[in-house]
Structure 1
Amino acid sequence: MSGQEKFNLLSFSGKMKILHLSWMAFFITFMVWFNFAPLLQAVKESLGLTSAEIKTLLILNVAFTIPARIIIGMLTDKYGPRLVYSALLLLCSIPCFAFALADNFVQAAIARFALGLIGAGFVVGIRLVSEWFPHNELGTAEGIYGGWGNFGSAAAAFSLPTVAVLFGGENGWRYAMALTGIISMAFSWVFYRNVTDTPKGSTYFKPQNLGAMEVTSKGDFFLLLLMKIPMYGAMALLVWKLSGAGIGLFQDSVVFGFYTLLFGLYLYEASQVWKINKGVFSRPVPKIHRYQFKQVAVLNVLYFATFGSELAVVSMLPLFFSETFELTPVVAGMVASAYAFMNLMSRPGGGWLSDKFGRKSTLLILTAGLAVGYFLMGQVNSQWPVWLAVAAAMVCSFFVQSGEGAVFATVPLIKRRMTGQIAGMTGAYGNVGAVCYLTILSMVDYSTFFYVIAGTAVIGFVTLLVMEEPKGQIAEVNDDGSITMIDVAKN
């Protein structure tokens, strides 16, 4: 079986081929998703946009990703990663081309909002990698997938301005954008032709229902409904930022309409949760099929603090270094990029530590380090030597990204057939964190911003105390009614 093959990063066959194609797909989704920021100034001048309109495009770029990660997670569990990832890469090339051809703000805004969908690609690979790797290698494999794929955003920042200059003229940015769309479209075909959902002879377990996440107890039913609220809250926060109180794009009547829509969608989703899980109120779920939703809730909180803070900090760090140490924008950008570079090793490192020393103990240590790291960042001021401030940022970055790796080393061990849905919800919480942190940043100074993140990491540490280490096996039901036991830890 595939799991018995040696873990050799230089190999491109069997499970290693799947790992490499997965991180490449994720790398491309992030390159497409973040292709706007490095070309922002050129787009602003070419389309004659105001600063408020540019801020709006940046908000729209992440707005759709929160619900998209939930939806894509469900579709992945139902239809398999091969089909869903291939379709996503192909489909999202369309808004990428649309943005490259945009002539005005409205066209650019619609394309940017639609491109938020590609930010959901991450959750597809989490399920695919979990199908191919045994539990003792899973954290390392998921860490490599997440860390190397995540680097797509940094690759876009380094390469796209150069591509734009090579094509030249005021339309250089359009060619650079379109190129990322062509790469996405081409890799869609490569992925579809070369990937299978499981190793030969293995079963791909699917959820019984597509409409909502299954839970296995009454308490978990209410906890699931509670954990849905912050996701709608974050989308409401994005609407608020586009309202008169924020950058003034929407009138009050439109804002009220969006709030009403979000409330209606929450009620609809709550009804779907009831429809699929009402059985837990009339008869207990057999013990062999139970899982604890509190495990998911804890991972959500931790990813809020880790990936949420990473997205927020990456977007503000160049400005922070520039203003604190009076650096030129170019030097500040290069210094701040050290934070993103840590992803290549830190995220796989967090997964590897989880495989070696246990999921919960690794998460406890990394979350404590996260809190200390951000507290240290809050102390940075102009009196510090620049090298020491960069060192503090890199130490903080190690704990942030290792923590992300450790979170997704645990996600696939909760309930195999729902891995896409669980990864989708946890991934969405990362975006929720980013929205919350960036909103806080707009209201407070830099040191308070870092202290707030440190505080949420402490909350994450406390919630971790109630999480139980995944152990033994999880049961999944085959189509013929027989049961397969899947190892999640050493017995």
Structure 2
Amino acid sequence: MTPPAVDHPPTRPTTGSLIASMFRRGPAQRVLHLTWFAFFLTFVAWFNFAPFATTIGGQFDLSTGQLVTLGLCNLALTVPARLVVGSLLDRFGPRRTFSAILLYATVPCLLFATAQSFEVLVLSRLLMGVVGAGFVVGIRMVAEWFPPAEVGTAEGIYGGWGNFGAAAAALTLPAVAGAVGGPAGWRWAVAGTGVVAGLYGLAYLRLVRDTPDGTPYARARRAAALEVTSRGAVWGLIAMSVPLAGALVVIAWRIFHVGVISAGALGVAVAASLVLLALQVTSVWRVNERARTSTYPSGQRYPFRSVAVLSFAYACTFGSELAAVSFLPEFFETTWGLSAAVAGAAAAAFAVMNLVSRPGGGLLSDLVASRRRWLSVLLGGLGVGYLVLSQLSSAWPLWLALVAVLVTSVFAQAGNGAVYAIVPLVRRQASGQVSGLCGAYGNVGGIVFLTVLVVSSARTAFLVMGVASLCAFVASRWLVEPSASHAAAPSPEPDGAAVSEDPVVAGPVPVGAAVGR
């Protein structure tokens, strides 16, 4: 007689098993490593101006204000672009979307490399901002290939290793320019980043699929705006659109503040930002007519408050990181009297830790019982860390200041990993739009904190970042723990069966089918 089957609780993964699962030979691992490298190349291209800022400023006889303008232009369109890219990838899939971004990167790179005037430099950096939105695409691609039990680790590797593209640009592009030699060396280096990105875009299109065999790609029904499932969430999403437009106004004001544009041009920029806000609000209102006029069945609802909390958390983690790496070199140089090279090397430790800290944040999110509590711990630690940094002065030993900076950077980058260990689990079929919204708020956080620096001081910026992070720590109590967040296979979408439009998948298959690993 056959004994009855006994249901055993799933075995929780260990650190070793999670790390090993990221590097074994398999289709999911292949997609992960091809995708983080795609993200890496977008960041190399996006940050290919900074290593040559002094050289370009000298060749074009640019003022400090004009150089600041180029840096801000590089960031400006990334905020709306992350929203648009998130919508497109939910509709067309990450394979085609990421390939398109990589191919597109060739255009602003070549335009920048061949520029002969400041106006063309500005145009090319504005266009380059779209390339900075590539991060959003890989979040959903990785989530499609890994089960919830491993998604934090996989997303951490994707984000941490891809982010290193910014540091790689600073480390390698000057060497490439030096090898070419002459005043045009930087042009060849910048153009090369675009050519490599474009070629990899063609390769990526052929080498990956949107989903594993037998699993359809769950597409969002509406791409114009995020679909929410309650009347209150409609108003919440509209309210969250306001800071995104406000960030564009702040960038325009900063460019005006350094004397590069006139008051009239500032007015035009403000008007354009308001028009974009109106279009976004209109899209939210139209897409979510059902949520405004009727009630979604309980099985189709998802907690929009989680989207709001995660966006605020990412504004504090990634936004503060973006700001810190921008002003830490000067802070070390002026506070301790270091040379520019030594101060830059000391500050670079904040960014380099991404290689370990962000994957570590995602890894521990997979290991601990509650992803929400782990994120809360990191936000609390980040807040305390920045409050400590706000007290730094020349009276502190340099080694102790470095330790404080490194510890704080670990909390910031692990927090990035913990946020994106939850984002893909909020609503699978709209994870691109959710990821885009959170990513856009990361940029908004950076703009806000850098603006505080401009109008005040580094210590005040540290203080504001600390208070904001502690507010996010408090807000995290409203974050809803994702259901089945440690499951060994993807959960079915609440909307029932979905039909894939990807020709790779043979016929319609119910969402939630077993993942081929």
1:51 Cα deviation after fit: 1.2
315, 329, 353: which one aligns with 2:326: 315
- Structure 1 runs not aligned, ≥5 long: none
Kept in 2: contact 1:475–1:486 (CA 8 A): no
Q: Say which SS state the counterpart of residue 494 (structure 2) adopts.
A: strand
Question: Residue by residue, what CA displacement relative to the aligned partner does 1:294-322 show, whole Å, maximum 9, x if unpaired?
Answer: 10000000000010011111111111111
Identify the residue that residue 494 of structure 2 maps to in structure 1.
Answer: 475
The CA RMSD over aligned residues, in Å, is: 1.7
Identify the residue that residue 346 of structure 2 maps to in structure 1.
Answer: 335
1:164 Cα deviation after fit: 1.3
1:12 Cα deviation after fit: 4.8
Identify the residue that residue 366 of structure 1 maps to in structure 2.
Answer: 378
Kept in 1: contact 2:303–2:480 (CA 8 A): no
Corresponding letter in the other structure for 2:116: D
229, 237, 241: which one aligns with 1:216: 229
Kept in 1: contact 2:214–2:509 (CA 8 A): no
Identify the residue that residue 87 of structure 2 maps to in structure 1.
Answer: 74
* Residues 107/12 of structure 1: CA separation in 2 closer, same or farther (3 Å cut): farther
Q: Using the alignment, how far apart are the partners of 1:419 and 1:288 within structure 2?
A: 18
Identify the residue that residue 106 of structure 1 maps to in structure 2.
Answer: 119
Identify the residue that residue 279 of structure 2 maps to in structure 1.
Answer: 268
Q: Say which SS state the counterpart of residue 378 (structure 2) adopts.
A: helix
1:341 Cα deviation after fit: 1.1
Corresponding letter in the other structure for 2:497: N
1:264 Cα deviation after fit: 2.0
1:486 Cα deviation after fit: 8.5
14, 18, 30: which one aligns with 2:31: 18
Matches within 5 A, 1:197-212: 197-212=210-225
Kept in 1: contact 2:37–2:162 (CA 8 A): yes
1:484 Cα deviation after fit: 3.9
Does 2:46 align with 1:33? yes
Matches within 5 A, 1:390-401: 390-401=402-413
Does 2:161 align with 1:142? no
1:219 Cα deviation after fit: 0.7
Q: Using the alignment, how far apart are the partners of 2:361 and 2:323 within structure 1?
A: 20
Corresponding letter in the other structure for 1:368: G
Kept in 2: contact 1:335–1:390 (CA 8 A): yes
195, 208, 211: which one aligns with 1:195: 208
Identify the residue that residue 64 of structure 2 maps to in structure 1.
Answer: 51
> Which shows bigger deviation, 175-184 or 363-372?
175-184
Question: Residue by residue, what CA displacement relative to the aligned partner does 1:430-465 show, whole Å, maximum 9, x if unpaired?
Answer: 000111111110111221110110010011011111
1:262 Cα deviation after fit: 1.6
1:69 Cα deviation after fit: 0.3
Kept in 1: contact 2:215–2:512 (CA 8 A): no
1:216 Cα deviation after fit: 0.3
* Residues 12/191 of structure 1: CA separation in 2 closer, same or farther (3 Å cut): farther
Q: TM-score, normalised by structure 1?
A: 0.95
Kept in 2: contact 1:304–1:434 (CA 8 A): yes
Does 2:296 align with 1:277? no
Corresponding letter in the other structure for 2:472: G
Identify the residue that residue 288 of structure 1 maps to in structure 2.
Answer: 299
> Which shows bigger deviation, 217-226 or 172-181?
172-181
* Residues 96/482 of structure 1: CA separation in 2 closer, same or farther (3 Å cut): closer
Does 2:481 align with 1:451? no
Q: Using the alignment, how far apart are the partners of 1:335 and 1:267 within structure 2?
A: 44
Kept in 2: contact 1:77–1:419 (CA 8 A): yes
Identify the residue that residue 354 of structure 1 maps to in structure 2.
Answer: 365
Identify the residue that residue 502 of structure 2 maps to in structure 1.
Answer: none
Q: Using the alignment, how far apart are the partners of 2:25 and 2:100 within structure 1?
A: 23
Q: Using the alignment, how far apart are the partners of 1:181 and 1:146 within structure 2?
A: 21
1:249 Cα deviation after fit: 2.0
Does 2:259 align with 1:240? no
1:280 Cα deviation after fit: 2.0
Q: Say which SS state the counterpart of residue 211 (structure 1) adopts.
A: coil
1:136 Cα deviation after fit: 0.4
Q: Using the alignment, how far apart are the partners of 1:53 and 1:252 within structure 2?
A: 16
Question: Residue by residue, what CA displacement relative to the aligned partner does 1:140-176 show, whole Å, maximum 9, x if unpaired?
Answer: 0000000000000001111111111111111111111
Q: Using the alignment, how far apart are the partners of 2:465 and 2:74 within structure 1?
A: 23
Q: TM-score, normalised by structure 2?
A: 0.91
Corresponding letter in the other structure for 2:496: V
Kept in 2: contact 1:475–1:484 (CA 8 A): no
Does 2:415 align with 1:403? yes
